[in-house]
Amino acid sequence: MQIFAIYSLLNDKFIGRNNDLIIKDKYDLQHFKSETLGNTIIMGRKTVESLPKRLKNRTVIMLSSQERIKLQLLDNLKADLIVNSPREAINLAYTLNKNKVFIAGGASIYDIFADLLDGIIETRFYRNDFDSNQSGLIELPKSIKNWKETKTKHIVVSELESCVVCRFFKENPSQSQSEV
């Protein structure tokens, strides 16, 4: 099983705004769907709550330290499984026996799993007219920036209609990760 972070990045800095996507782009959303389809996605509570609807044909594991959230979100059917620790999330992902696990936000979740990543799938957007002083902006965690700078063997770049997708791969990918 391989573990990938997947996110959109605006102007090399921002991944979200007010607990939502920083950019809502149909090509990026189609790309996210094609990458994650048939696999497992680990998300934090706020990211799961921000989903407009359930993600079909993917297993969503929500990581939350709040016990009371379990019943509320299961009733809402946006997460398939809810766990209370990163270790529990990874162990559960292994039992699901999928080829890939995607870490899909938010910032604190990327930070928690940074050391376990085999790769990063980053969709890049650039906007000259974007106001970077507005409130509620969420930056890419330093742990992910550091991962890209220190552990990357090579990068594969492809273009979508409105953005660029960069794939960062670990220098010495391991066959399995067992500790969180």
In a domain, 178, yes or no: no
pLDDT digit string, tens, across residues 40-70: 999 998 899 888 888 999 999 999 887 655 5
In a domain, 159, yes or no: yes
In a domain, 152, yes or no: yes
In a domain, 21, yes or no: yes
- List the one residue out of 89, 83, 87, 118 whose CA is nearest residue 6: 118
Domain count, the chain: 1
Q: How far is CA 77 from CA 62, 71, 108, 149, in A?
A: 11, 10, 23, 37
pLDDT digit string, tens, across residues 100-123: 999 999 999 999 999 999 999 999
Structure-block tokens of residue 76: 């809402």
Report the C-alpha gap between 148 and 78 in whole angstroms. Answer: 30
Report the C-alpha gap between 128 and 126 in whole angstroms. Answer: 7
CATH of the domain at 33: 3.40.430.10
**Cβ–Cβ < 8 Å for 69, 82:** yes
In a domain, 176, yes or no: no
- What's the confidence (pLDDT) of residue 179? 40
Q: Centre a 10 Å sphere on the Cβ of residue 65 and count the other Cβ atoms it contains.
A: 10
**Cβ–Cβ < 8 Å for 117, 143:** no
Domain that holds residue 124: 2-166
Report the C-alpha gap between 73 and 49 in whole angstroms. Answer: 8
Q: Is the pLDDT of residue 171 over 60?
A: yes
Residues 6+ apart with CB under 8 A from 127: 10, 11
In a domain, 177, yes or no: no
Structure-block tokens of residue 20: 């939502």
In a domain, 52, yes or no: yes
